[in-house]
Amino acid sequence: MMKHASIPQFDRADPREMLDRGLLTKSVHWSYEKEWHLIGHQKGFGSVEFRPENLTGLIFGAMTPPATIQKAQTMLSKRALPLPLFQAKVSRTAFAVSIETMK
């Protein structure tokens, strides 16, 4: 039997709450991930500044185009602090994704 995460209940009249819940809620199956999502309600879309030491790694999605990875690697090569890079890989034999260190 397949299990599903429960859908959180919230006030549909509050668009900001709907947006926050939609962007910040994930299935319990991903609870082991220690990720952060940054949402700027005042400034909207754009860059977010933070201290370089706060960025501890970068995971590229399983379907990230090689050109995008190359562009990011070029930008990151200018960092004073090295940054570990990882690539998500979809399993061919199970409903799973692994995260592998990039070389």
Residues 89-99: pLDDT tens digits? Answer: 999 998 888 99
3-state SS assignment for residue 98: strand
3-state SS assignment for residue 32: coil
| Sheet with 85-90, edge to edge strand ranges | 58-60, 85-90, 97-101
Q: How remote is the C-alpha of 71 from its chain's centroid?
A: 18
Residue for token pair 């599903």: 4
pLDDT, position 24: 75
Q: Where are the beta strands (DSSP E) in the chain?
A: 58-60, 85-90, 97-101
* Model pLDDT for residues 38-60, shown as the tens digit of each residue: 667 677 777 778 888 888 899 99
- The average pLDDT across 78-97 equals 92
Q: Pick the residue with more confidence: 22 or 63?
A: 63
pTM, to two decimals = 0.61
